[in-house]
A = this chain, B = another copy of it.
Amino acid sequence: MKIAFIGLGVMGFPMAGHLQNAGHAVTVFNRSRDKAERWLASNPVGAIADSPAAAARDADLILTCVGNDDDLRSVVLGPNGVIKSARPSCIVVDHTTASAKIARELHSALAEKGIDFIDAPVSGGQQGAINGQLTIMCGGDTEPFAKVRDVIGVYARQVTLMGPAGCGQLTKMVNQICIAGLVQSLAEGVQFALKAGLDAEMVFDVIGKGAAQSWQMVNRHKTMIDGQFEHGFAVDWMRKDLAICLEEARLNGSHLPVAALVDQFYSEVQAMGGGRWDTSSLLARLRNHPD
């Protein structure tokens, strides 16, 4: 299959590589060309294009994985966007974590050209992208979903159609909402265990098998106890995602008091210089608090 891959960030870079390794003809575009050249050095059978439009020409499947709604609108609908060259009957799949609104907007704009669009944000982080173990939450129509499912499945352990356009993004939002307060509570627990003079590793070994158990507790308590915050998803990205959640909550009438509060806590972590620390750095903020 001829595939265009637009956006070679920490996620897109390995994802495009998996597609090339699976035998597809992958043409990449990245805003800063040096990353595209590094990708080509690792994937010498691929190709580099000079614009999203150039990458999308002749492609059967166009994948995007960029920063935010504006970047996404630009690479799809902009003057050098995918829509300028993509042929009817091709499919655009977007892996950006973005708003449900932009997903519906792109679905509708592309449909006018006979092009299908699927919003397909992922979870699993950089490690999941490298290992091909992402979870992909899709929104869109069933026919194009059936066509792309196995293709994008090369970097996923799970690819699910959640509903019509926007439903992939909405599902990703639920994921981030659930993580926000969970990580804060875990940080409060770690802080309390240390202040109480407990053997904190033993504490989480014990309670990590009961009703307080979480993936975050099992996988992050050791690095948190050690004060290491370089093990995953960055605070700057989490704030971007929480902004999307809080905006959507205004639209649908959800009440998110703890997600909103934790977003504010993350702004304090940013003020501490921790924008690139991982989400568990809420603990650093607690430690920074006077006794």
Subset of 6 A-B contacts with CB under 8 Å: A167-B198, A178-B185, A178-B212, A179-B185, A181-B258, A214-B215
Contacts of A179 in B (CB 8 A): 185, 211-212
A126 at the interface (CB under 8 A from B): no
Instruction: Give the one of A158, A211, A212, A262 with max B CB within 10 A.
Output: A211
The answer to whether A178 touches B186, judged by C-beta atoms less than 8 angstroms apart, is yes
- Which stretch in A16-24, A145-153, A169-177 binds the other chain? A169-177
Give the residues from 185 to 203 in chain A that come closer than 8 angstroms, CB to CB, to chain B. Answer: 185-186, 188-189, 191-193, 195-199, 202-203
A141 at the interface (CB under 8 A from B): no
The answer to whether B254 touches A212, judged by C-beta atoms less than 8 angstroms apart, is no
Contacts of A256 in B (CB 8 A): 188, 192
Contacts of A215 in B (CB 8 A): 210-214
Name 8 extra pairs, CB < 8 A, besides A171-B198, A188-B257: A137-B207, A158-B209, A162-B206, A163-B197, A178-B188, A181-B182, A185-B258, A196-B254
- Which stretch in A43-51, A52-60, A244-252 binds the other chain? A244-252
A217 at the interface (CB under 8 A from B): yes
- A198 to B191: give the CA distance in the assembly, Å: 36
The closest CB in chain B to the CB of A192 belongs to: B254
Give the residues from 235 to 288 in chain A that come closer than 8 angstroms, CB to CB, to chain B. Answer: 245, 248-249, 252-259, 261-262, 265, 286
Q: Within the oligomer, what is the number of copies of this chain?
A: 2
Task: Tell whether A213 pairs with B210 under 8 Å between CB atoms, given A185-B177, A258-B261.
Answer: no
The answer to whether A171 touches B259, judged by C-beta atoms less than 8 angstroms apart, is no
A125 at the interface (CB under 8 A from B): yes
Contacts of A123 in B (CB 8 A): 207, 210-212
The closest CB in chain B to the CB of A259 belongs to: B188
The answer to whether A135 touches B210, judged by C-beta atoms less than 8 angstroms apart, is yes
A42 at the interface (CB under 8 A from B): no
Contacts of A196 in B (CB 8 A): 100, 170, 173-174, 248, 252, 254
A291 at the interface (CB under 8 A from B): yes
The answer to whether A199 touches B162, judged by C-beta atoms less than 8 angstroms apart, is yes
The answer to whether A289 touches B198, judged by C-beta atoms less than 8 angstroms apart, is no
The answer to whether A181 touches B174, judged by C-beta atoms less than 8 angstroms apart, is no
Contacts of A188 in B (CB 8 A): 177-178, 181, 254-259
- A162 to B263: give the CA distance in the assembly, Å: 34
Instruction: Give the one of A100, A173, A255 with max B CB within 10 A.
Output: A255
The answer to whether A258 touches B210, judged by C-beta atoms less than 8 angstroms apart, is no
A107, chain B: closest CB distance, angstroms: 16
